[in-house]
Amino acid sequence: MIEISFALETRFSAETRLKLENFHNDTISSPATASNFRSRLNLDLTSRFYKIYFQLQDSRLLGNQENSPGIAGKINSPPSLHQVYGELDSPLGGKNKIRFGRFEMPLGNQRLFSNNNWNDRGRSFEGLTNERKTKRGKLLFFHLINADLYPMNDQFDYIVDGVYGTTKMSLIKSTEQSIDSEDSYTQNNPLSFEYYIFNENIVVNPGTNTKQRQTLGFRLFKNFKKINIETEYAYQTGRFYSDDIEASLASINLEFPISFTPYVESLSFSKEFLSGDEYLLGGSDGKLGGFAKPFGAAHKFHGYYDNPQHKNFLDNSHAGLNEWFIESKHKLLFNINLSIKYHDFKDAINFDVYGRELDFVLSKDLPFGGKIIQGFSIYYPENRSRLESGYFMLIINL
């Protein structure tokens, strides 16, 4: 008789998040307020080689009539599985970790693939990934199924296939180690190099041709003693009916750690550029020049006010973005963190001004597991009255 037993580790965790948002336009006397509540219950079942993960999520606007608040006998909006996947770890003794099902997939600095945590529902993908360890990093192969309109006909599926690699490289090699050695610091903080390529087969309309788009890019990150550098570049090509896609993304972030005062942690300067499509302004070159990042973060890079003019870049038909911003990070009394950002937004074709934005964000970690965040934004549109928004967020993790 052969008896096989598996040791199973079970872990439960939970999160609740209350987000109160307030918007105000100087031309409108009455403000608008929204109360959003999100709760997540996580179940992690892990054995030596296999893992099953469930994340049940309920996200709602408090007071929404679909929730039937204050009404007995009505059916409330049901929760849904934000993530549910199986994972094989090193099957047959290999170096692969295979995941399949529904899962979040934030990559790099989340410019192109993000979990959109600011959003009340977040972002999940469905498909298959294979993460393989290498000598200097990892390779992640992914096959994502964003739409399967006809199960018996694959030509109308929205499929994303790609690979995302990460590696670390030392710029200076030295056998001497000392406390004040720049070589020693470089050895302990190697250059992080990330590279990626992915292809999108996109359904335009059922029964018509698909749109194909390829994106190739890289990201570099390096910490020095007096400066931290992060940069990313991506090029996009493809075809949409008779138009060719030619677009690009470029960004650079320079952060300077501050040590001479206890209240200022760092100062940084950032530049974000997404190419635009000149056809929108009357051109006829047969090209689509707007860089598309339908799965990327918006709130993180393009202002907390979330102006729809430069928040989302879902396709290749937009005027692009030429943005720079400066940020200072501070450590206040009682371990309260303060971030101050100033943005300048222009389009990427004629550099016409969208507007300018000033953001203040206070945050504090809670001793029982969680965080309090208070944010306030002032947006100055070009030739229009200023706009204001604020939010309060309470996060509790168990």
Dihedral in degrees, nearest 10, Cα atoms 94, 95, 100, 105? 180
At 59, which helix (H) or strand (E)?
strand 50-61
Q: Return the pLDDT at 64.
A: 84
Residue 177: the pLDDT is 40
As a residue count, the chain comes to 398
What amino acid is encoded at 173 in this protein? K
Find the mean pLDDT for residues 226-246. 91
Eight-class DSSP state of 209: P
392, β-bridge pairs: 20, 374
pLDDT at 368 over 90: no
Residues 192, 84: Cα–Cα separation, whole Å = 30
**Which of 80-94, 180-194, 300-314, 355-369 shows the lowest mean pLDDT across its residues?**
180-194
pLDDT tens for 297-328 read: 888 888 888 888 888 898 898 999 999 999 99
- Mean pLDDT confidence for 49-73: 86
Q: Which of 264, 209, 213 is nearest to 237 (CA)?
A: 213
In 3D, which of 194, 195, 199 has the Cα closest to residue 161?
199
Give tens-digit pLDDT for 137-186. Answer: 999 999 999 877 777 766 677 899 999 999 988 766 544 443 343 444 44
The residues with which 233 forms a beta bridge, in sequence order, are 218, 250
- What pLDDT is recorded for position 2? 47
Domains of the chain by range and CATH?
11-397 (2.40.160.100)
**Would you call 53 helix, strand, or coil by DSSP?**
strand
Closest among 125, 153, 123, 156 to 140, alpha carbons compared: 125
Proportion of the chain above pLDDT 90, given as a percent: 56
Environment class of 184 (CB within 10 Å of its CB; exposed 0-12, middle 13-18, buried 19+): middle
Residue type at 138 in one-letter notation: K
- Does the pLDDT value for residue 78 go beyond 70? yes
Distance (Å, whole) CA 349 – CA 274 = 10
pLDDT in tens, 247-283: 999 999 999 999 888 889 999 999 999 999 987 654 5
